[in-house]
Structure 1
Amino acid sequence: MFLNCHTYYSLRYGTLKIRDLLSLGQQNRAIFMALTDINSTSACLEFIRIASEYNVKPVIGVDFRNDAKQHFIMLAENNEGFQNINEYLSAFLHQRQGTKNAEIPSKAKQLPSTFVIYPFASFEGETLAENEFIGVRMDDINRLKFSPWKDKQSKLVILQTVTFQNKKGFNTHRLLRAIDNNTLLSKLPTSEQASENDVFISEEKLKKAFEEFPQLIKNTENLLNRCYISFNFSKETTCNQKSYTTSEDLDFRLLKKLAYAGIHYRYKRPGERVMLRMEKELGIIKEKGFVSYFLINWKILKYARSKGYFYVGRGSGANSIIAYLLRITDVDPVELDLYFERFINLYRKNPPDFDIDFSWQDRNDITDFIFNTFKNTALIAVYNTFKFKASVRELGKVFGLPKEEIDRLSTQDCNFKTLDKLSQLVIVYSQYIQGFPNYLGIHAGGILISEKPIHYYTATFMPPKGYATTQFDMVIAEDIGLYKFDILSQRGLGKIKDAVEIVKQNHPEKKPIDIHDIKRFKEDERIKDLLRNAKAIGCFYVESPAMRMLLRKLQVDDYLGLVAASSVIRPGVAKSGMMREYILRYRFPEKRKEAHPVLLEIMPETYGVMVYQEDVIKVAHHFGGLDLGEADMLRRGMSGKFRSREEFQKVKDQFFNNCKNSGKAEAFTTEVWRQIESFAGYAFAKGHSASYAVESYQSLFLKAYFPLEYMVATLNNGGGFYSVELYVHEARMHGANILQPCVNKGYGATIIDGKDIYIGFDFLQSLESKLIDRIITERNKNGAFESLDNFLERVSIGMEQVTILIKINAFRFTGRNKRELLWEAYMKINKVSFEENVYTLFKQKKIDYKTPSLPHTALEGAFDEMELLGFPLCSPFELLSVASENKVRATHLPNFTGKTVTIEGYLVTTKRTKTTNGQQMYFGTFVDRNGDFVDTVHFPPVANQYRFRGKGIYSITGKVIEEFDCINIEVIKMERLAIIQDPRYSSATVLKNSDGKDKTVTDNRRKTVKHMP
């Protein structure tokens, strides 16, 4: 009896979760329910999957609307009808008209195997097609009595819309509509909201309301009875493209041929172990029907190699020797003894997971190739949900609260009981809508390649990227057997690729770098030294403060050690308390005896500590007695996607029962399970870590032998973990001369010439990209600029843009100071044309202006750099308002272990975390005057009293602590030091010291203290 039900996937309109809607149907003994979200099929498959649990027969369709105005409802008679509806809806969602999708027409298109219901109140036609009906609401009954349709009841059905459950649901709906319309709640038009009667009522009450029109009750029941839709959620087979060639047999012959062809490339002379593993994998891949999955990945990467693209294949597929032979991955599973069952086993329903990383510069072309090569292709959506802070801000605006109050509420820095009524409502409803889907986004790299058309399963929308995207996420996709291909973007690969090219340009005398010679890199002493001493700034995955400290604690200097470190650093291992245990057992062999004998036997390589996802599966299988099918379910549960599902709970119960039956102590079983649970959503597969380590070695090689070129590549690829400023600092630490952009030598990107690094024009805030192109084009065409005057004649530019170039010292080749150049530009800029320059036979006579003598200091330059680049190119310590006499440096700290010291450091980055009791604490990273790192720990009492106050130089007082040769300062007190007043806006007088350097004397009457921005 319910033809028009909404969930909260009717974005910023509906208020009911899928299970809540079905639960209402079950409570009211509804037999049929039609899910018809507004312009969305996001919830349809999940609705069908779980409807039987609530004894409800699912019907699905779409409520077609323009904004809140309902035009018609379409129901799917069967699967074909659902596909037709998806195609029809997608056509509107793909067409953009300004900022909105194309307008939904008032009359529906005739589609096979579908039914159309028009709302009685707004329908203006007189005739209906065979599959079309008019939906009559309860509040339409009186009008129906006086309508011509009273005599055409065969085309009328009951239309009871369900959007919310109760009054609170209606209030929530109105708030969502106000957010969607970006308006105050008091100004929300009634046309933009649902009727307060759009609630679930019992079928008995509904039939009672229409007792004068029994024909409508019968029509509605007949219509619902004609609808039947079914999908296979068993996951016994995948719905991915089944064949790469023309048949599955031909696919397997090709896969086997490619695997054998790859033996010589990978192994030269393979041993029996390699051949046995290869044959074993081929058999299982064929039996499980995963052949096309391998071949499609192979095809994609064959294309990538033909274009010279760098890539890294990782994920569980890195455990496969077939993937290694097909060059999908570069990790040898035999060398690393990667656990085969983690990759694939006879119990595994879904294909192995290949995460393929490309440079951010190359991924779009790869995506184009996939969409152009394979037929039924789409990106996967993600549900971007309302977060509490964002909800507070949105609802605060809806209620008309002042910004200061909204800021206070969003930080939760308030006592709920003392708030006024409106503020309390903001908090209450922000908590209520937390987790509601807000809008559809795009998965980071997931692409579906389906055997059937994508619209068989879902409608698609067209985001700005220009690729059709599903309306459901990867969890729903996997429920029906659609498994994604992960094509990811990573800046680390761009750094490596660009660095190789920059080395070739800056060192033409050197032989080309074979960046794929990983075997040689593993034995390189310079790389070992970088790892042992944690000097890996800029290097992929090993540069963060946490990783830097872990490497120092472990003193890793080999490949296997780095592979382990890449997984140990993950929150799962740290959360379980096993990171420290692993470090102890790694550093001190006698500690390995403390491992439980059973766990040590299962995981000898990691000393009885669970480090990889494989370890969890091994423990579940060998310790907990789970079969490989149950262990694979545990693996999937660890990803976090299925933690709430009953399957995961069953596996947990089975684990405890098996351990109890085998006589294991309950306390020990509980501890082992605690360690397993801590991995949820965080642990790496060993092959995944090994893939990361390969890329780390490539970047470490470049850092070890070509640090300046590698830093330039790092800057041009968006940096890494840290800000641009630190990579500039790192280049300087390796002997680079850091220079401002120059109109005669600079480019958009940062470049290197010997040891001179010219910051790129792209790093200048507010400099127009078109101007950069004009400068470079003009310089390439007609030679270097001779003077500012010459530049203004040849390049069309306004005063604002030329001011940026002058302030950053891009005209320093003229030998004149910036103030004089600015004066000259101001006098001449309005005399030149702002159109493209045209060269004539006769030059106009120049007007010369006498420029006054205008002094300029290096300190003014530093503030110009901070304004335009975001940081000074000089040492920030030179800008202190009071010269420091503190002599303590980072290299001295090991001599002060256990003692309290005061040291000064320039803030690099902070990390906020929480203690076990939920209090906030911080870790800080600074550099001292020598450029060395100072790492700090700020426990809650200190963190609350001495807060970080943005970039700048801090005086840090604290106790020096040492753990596993890693030095930290446990902060007791901290303050940010004042820097000089900006001389550009002060009444400072510039003098010269006896050594000829600038000295600034400031008028005491206007002396102020300014902190680093």
Structure 2
Amino acid sequence: MYLNCKTYFSYRYGTIGTEELVKMARERGVETLALTNINSTADVWDFVDFCRREEIKPIPGCEIRNEDAFCYILLAKNDTGLLNINRFLTHHLQGAILFPERPALEQVWVIYAYGMHPPEVLEANELLGIRPHQVNKLYGVKMEHHPEKWVVLQPVTFQNKTYFNLHRLLRAIGKNTLVSKLTPEDIARVDEQFKEAHVLEEVFQEYPYILRRTKEILDSCTLSMELNTDKNKKHYSASAEDDRIFLEKLTMDGFASRYGKNNKAARERVIKELRIINQLNFNAYFLIVVDVVRYAQNRGFFYVGRGSGANSIVAYCLRITDVDPMKLDLYFERFLNPHRTSPPDFDMDFSWKDRDEIIDYVFKRYGKEHVALLGMYSTFQRKAIIRELGKVFGLPKPEIDQLVMRGNHYPEDKIQRALLKYGALMENFPNHLSIHPGGMLISEQPIYAYTAKELPPKNFCTAQIDMFLAEKVGLFKLDILSQRGLGHIKDTVSLVKENRGVEVDIRQVEKFFSDPKVADKIRDADTIGCFYIESPAMRQLLAKLKCDDYLTLVAASSIIRPGVSKSGMMRQYIERYHNPTSIEYLHPKMEELLKETYGVMVYQEDVIKVAHHFAGMDMGEADVLRRAMSGKYRSFDHFNLIKQKFFANCKGKGYKDEITAEVWRQIESFGGYSFSKAHSASFAVESYQSLFLKTYYPMEFMVAVINNFGGFYSTEFYFQELKRTGAKVLPPCVNKGEYLTTIRGDVVYTGFIHIHSMEKAAAEKILAEREENGFYLSLEDFIERTRTHMEQLNILIRVGALNFTGMTKKELLWRANFRRKRMDKQPETAALFREEPVHFELPDFPVKPLEDAYDEIELLGFNLGDSFRLVDDDRKGLIYAKELPLYLNKKVTLLGRLVTTKDVRTVRREHMAFGTFLDERGNWLDTVHFPDMLKRFPFKGLGFYRITGKVTEEFGVYALEVMHMELVGLKG
């Protein structure tokens, strides 16, 4: 009788969790249950899984609505019916097409509300649902003429009256209105709860054929699809055997290129991996990745293959990755092993400019019927909940802000208490469908067999299921990700070719690893702009390690992660790195397993090694630990069982309890933040590529960083770094500049894109006219040819884009305004004869020395020249960042420009911070602000600070422990 049940995947409507709904059914002795979320089948596979565990027959379906208007309920008779429902949903959701009044769907039951259609017009698969409160309307209706058309319809939307109130609040959030303004049509009836079967039977006792027909409909539906079985594209070529042969050929061709012909150990590993890949039916998966890589290569796109796939020597031979697993001792079992219960994946990083084309290629290559981007769910979290509920309760913004900041303090105000009460109930509810950062699904059967698809803003079809449900179904994701670091590399290579005529082969990473100048860059932590290694924390770590080689950089890429650093293991690693002979290992076995990382668990692989070799767990169990550690495992009951087995195994091996506990503590400390060694190695390869370009082509590299608008720091600090390379940085120029920043020799023209108030269309018109008819000859020539509006013209003059005329800005502004006003009075037609400019004498305009700098700050957001000349400070008693080693443990004062801050909490939950500044000579300064000093001398936004403190040193890295700090003003 339960043909219309919803969960909270009826976004901003239902209040019942998927598993909770099934447990409610089990408690009531329900044998068959239908899930019908509004315009969604998002959680259908969790529902199916939970029902089967409880021996309840699941019926997947959907409730169709046009906006708030109920249309009908769809129930899948079988697997084909579900596919048809998903296809139907997809067609209308993607096209924003209203659902039809009556759908034509095969293998699907369609249930209308009572009164929507007379029973005599209905098709064989169409029914009318009668709700309990409508039974009295049946008196006088000649139902015996069509007894097969009537079924019981008892919607289940919320648990009880409390959750009915939460439903009302969710509806108000969804409709962006006050809860007091909701109408009865906006919300569900209060009786949409899980009523006992005997209650419903009593209501319908005079209509036994309705009860009987309802049971017949439930009995007629059967879903046969098995979960956790491979649903991916079966073959890349004509057959599985052809895939095996083709993959082997491509791999052995690549093997000869990577290793030559005589590397016996590498050859044995290749053969072993190919055997396992074939046994586990992964040939097609590898070939699809190779296909994507080759398309990228043919298009000249840069990419990095990472993820656990980088543990594979086959992937290395196929040039999916540039990480040599033999060199780094990466074991294949981390990626694929016979015990693994979950699908592995490749992460393929592309430039943010190229990624969409790669995604488009996959859709076109494998067909929209079989491809979807992976979905994910944005969930309600505490601060957002308070803000949303505050609005629907009608609270003023200051009161909402106060509630957000108040933490767990319970207010006395009745409305505020209600807000926090219902807010706690809806925490972690799904809010809306979002897009996984890069996951793509490629299925053998039409993708609609498993999910409906929607069309978010980027116009790529996105599955309604997330990565956990895709895995439960048996679909492996291929991650097509984007990052701006690859854009830096690609654009630098292009700029070097254009500006210097030099071809750079950026894939020669082995050469970069042994380059002494690149090693110097890392050792000096001169890494601003370089992928993954430019943050203050990372630069400090590199300096503390005196890192100058690839393997150390691989380790650094992992120990910087919060899981390692917060546990105290990062500091321990640095100490042991500098003094390896003093290491006391927890146990001889731990020394054997972790000698490479000085007894510290740095990588996910280390956890698997310890679980397998130290605790005696099999690879499948060790993999559960690894997945739980990386935040990709949802079964905490299973995880707790694994934990119990870990301790039991260790006890059986005779380890002391305190040793076992410490080993487990180190495993737990990784949390959701640790990296696989293959990830770190892939990142380190890209870091080396960036470092090589920064070392030998620093100007072009920084221009590329600026033009990709991505990095740890804001754009102005990359311009500062560009000036440090010796480049002459000039303002935008209508004759020599472009929309993006350009370099010619050692002269750089700032791009028009950086002018805050510049209209893109105006800039493009200026550039197109110059391209067609040549350089602008004068102010008048520019105005005549572009007819730039006065406001935009004034902006261009003030930013320096017309400096080529040789006139001062004030003279240009005077003449431009005079000329433009005259033009406004004339029709916009081309003149037959060029009019001679009017000559007149202008007075001498006073020029203030800092005027240009302030114009640049206003229009660009930063000054292209020396910003420190704006500072109103006498410089008395100052030292510079490079001089800190001379003043260890002494009190000094510096002048610094704030770049960034990092807030942290102490063990006592007090607020402290780390600061990063630039001094007047362009060198970087790190500061430490302990809680008491931070309270007395807080940061007051970006700007220049006079800082006094004690010079400290740790592992050769100097910082300033702040004792006094004040914001310094600017000159008028």
Q: How many residues align?
A: 970
Map of 1:998 onto structure 2: none
Map of 1:1010 onto structure 2: none
Corresponding position: 1:352 with 2:352: no
Superposition map of 1:405-424 within 5 A: 405-412=399-406, 415-418=409-412, 420-424=413-417
Moved more, 327-336 or 204-213: 204-213
Map of 2:879 onto structure 1: 888
How many angstroms apart in 2 are the aligned matches of 1:834 and 1:624?
87
Is the CA contact (8 Å cut-off) linking 1:862 and 1:872 kept in structure 2?
Answer: yes
How many angstroms apart in 2 are the aligned matches of 1:835 and 1:216?
82
How many angstroms apart in 1 are the aligned matches of 2:12 and 2:57?
27
Corresponding position: 1:742 with 2:733: yes
Is the CA contact (8 Å cut-off) linking 1:68 and 1:193 kept in structure 2?
Answer: no
1:495-539 Cα offsets, whole Å, 9 max, x none, are 11111111122213xx42221111211111111111111011111
How many angstroms apart in 1 are the aligned matches of 2:266 and 2:651?
39
Map of 2:65 onto structure 1: 65
Map of 1:991 onto structure 2: none
Map of 2:125 onto structure 1: 131
Is the CA contact (8 Å cut-off) linking 2:310 and 2:678 kept in structure 1?
Answer: yes
Map of 2:355 onto structure 1: 363
Distance 1:979 1:957, change over 3 A: same
How far off is 1:849 after superposition? 6.3
How far off is 1:374 after superposition? 0.9
Map of 2:454 onto structure 1: 461
1:958-997 Cα offsets, whole Å, 9 max, x none, are 332211111222333333222235xxxxxxxxxxxxxxxx
1:862-905 Cα offsets, whole Å, 9 max, x none, are 22212221112233332233433241211222233333333221
Letter in 1 for 2:286: F
Distance 1:850 1:442, change over 3 A: farther
Letter in 2 for 1:227: C
Moved more, 434-443 or 423-432: 423-432
How many angstroms apart in 2 are the aligned matches of 1:836 and 1:215?
82
How many angstroms apart in 2 are the aligned matches of 1:899 and 1:195?
73
Is the CA contact (8 Å cut-off) linking 2:591 and 2:599 kept in structure 1?
Answer: yes
Corresponding position: 1:497 with 2:490: yes
How many angstroms apart in 2 are the aligned matches of 1:409 and 1:460?
38
Superposition map of 1:320-339 within 5 A: 320-339=312-331
Corresponding position: 1:176 with 2:170: yes
Distance 1:837 1:522, change over 3 A: farther
Distance 1:2 1:744, change over 3 A: same
Superposition map of 1:58-457 within 5 A: 58-95=58-95, 101-107=96-102, 109-123=103-117, 126-149=120-143, 152-233=146-227, 235=228, 237-375=229-367, 376-412=370-406, 415-418=409-412, 420-457=413-450
Superposition map of 1:802-817 within 5 A: 802-817=793-808
Q: Secondary structure at the match of 1:542?
A: coil
How many angstroms apart in 1 are the aligned matches of 2:418 and 2:851?
51
Map of 1:1009 onto structure 2: none
How far off is 1:847 after superposition? 5.0
Distance 1:413 1:14, change over 3 A: closer
Q: Secondary structure at the match of 2:4?
A: strand
Map of 2:788 onto structure 1: 797
1:345-374 Cα offsets, whole Å, 9 max, x none, are 221244432111111111111111111111
Q: Secondary structure at the match of 1:331?
A: coil
How far off is 1:164 after superposition? 0.8
Superposition map of 1:706-725 within 5 A: 706-725=697-716
Corresponding position: 1:555 with 2:537: no
Moved more, 517-526 or 846-855: 846-855
Distance 1:348 1:189, change over 3 A: same
Map of 2:6 onto structure 1: 6
How many angstroms apart in 1 are the aligned matches of 2:425 and 2:170?
11
How many angstroms apart in 2 are the aligned matches of 1:857 and 1:430?
57
How many angstroms apart in 2 are the aligned matches of 1:860 and 1:661?
78
Q: Secondary structure at the match of 2:376?
A: strand
Is the CA contact (8 Å cut-off) linking 1:77 and 1:114 kept in structure 2?
Answer: yes
Q: Secondary structure at the match of 2:595?
A: coil
How many angstroms apart in 2 are the aligned matches of 1:87 and 1:182?
30
Q: Secondary structure at the match of 2:232?
A: coil
- Sequence identity (%): 48
How far off is 1:848 after superposition? 5.4
Superposition map of 1:500-511 within 5 A: 500-508=493-501, 511=502
How many angstroms apart in 1 are the aligned matches of 2:392 and 2:470?
36
Moved more, 66-75 or 221-230: 221-230
Map of 2:719 onto structure 1: 728
Moved more, 800-809 or 942-951: 942-951
Corresponding position: 1:486 with 2:473: no
Letter in 2 for 1:167: K
Q: Secondary structure at the match of 2:421?
A: helix
1:992-1011 Cα offsets, whole Å, 9 max, x none, are xxxxxxxxxxxxxxxxxxxx
Corresponding position: 1:20 with 2:20: yes
How many angstroms apart in 2 are the aligned matches of 1:837 and 1:319?
66
Map of 1:994 onto structure 2: none
Q: Secondary structure at the match of 1:105?
A: coil
Is the CA contact (8 Å cut-off) linking 2:9 and 2:430 kept in structure 1?
Answer: yes
How far off is 1:748 after superposition? 0.6
How far off is 1:641 after superposition? 2.3
How many angstroms apart in 1 are the aligned matches of 2:898 and 2:454?
44
Letter in 2 for 1:438: N
Corresponding position: 1:536 with 2:530: no
How many angstroms apart in 1 are the aligned matches of 2:782 and 2:271?
69
Map of 1:956 onto structure 2: 947
Superposition map of 1:960-999 within 5 A: 960-981=951-972
Moved more, 813-822 or 195-204: 813-822
Q: Secondary structure at the match of 1:676?
A: helix
Distance 1:213 1:443, change over 3 A: same
Moved more, 494-503 or 628-637: 628-637
How many angstroms apart in 2 are the aligned matches of 1:849 and 1:151?
99
Letter in 2 for 1:365: E
How far off is 1:917 after superposition? 4.2
How far off is 1:835 after superposition? 11
What is the aligned counterpart of 2:757 among 766, 776, 786?
Answer: 766
RMSD: 2.0
How many angstroms apart in 2 are the aligned matches of 1:645 and 1:409?
32
Map of 1:37 onto structure 2: 37
Distance 1:431 1:757, change over 3 A: farther
How many angstroms apart in 2 are the aligned matches of 1:975 and 1:597?
54
1:933-952 Cα offsets, whole Å, 9 max, x none, are 11122233333443322211
How many angstroms apart in 2 are the aligned matches of 1:440 and 1:970?
46
How many angstroms apart in 2 are the aligned matches of 1:739 and 1:777?
21
Letter in 2 for 1:162: V
How many angstroms apart in 2 are the aligned matches of 1:297 and 1:413?
47
Give the TM-score taking structure 1 as reference length.
0.93
Q: Secondary structure at the match of 1:161?
A: coil
How many angstroms apart in 1 are the aligned matches of 2:172 and 2:841?
62
What is the aligned counterpart of 2:664 among 673, 678, 703?
Answer: 673
1:52-111 Cα offsets, whole Å, 9 max, x none, are 34443211100000122211000011111100111111111110xxxxx2212222x222
1:535-568 Cα offsets, whole Å, 9 max, x none, are 1111111111111010011111011111111111
Point out where structure 2 has 5 or more consecutive residues left out of the alignment.
Answer: none
How far off is 1:683 after superposition? 1.6
1:278-309 Cα offsets, whole Å, 9 max, x none, are 11111111111111111110111111111111
Moved more, 711-720 or 671-680: 671-680
Is the CA contact (8 Å cut-off) linking 1:573 and 1:683 kept in structure 2?
Answer: yes
Letter in 2 for 1:947: P
Map of 1:1005 onto structure 2: none
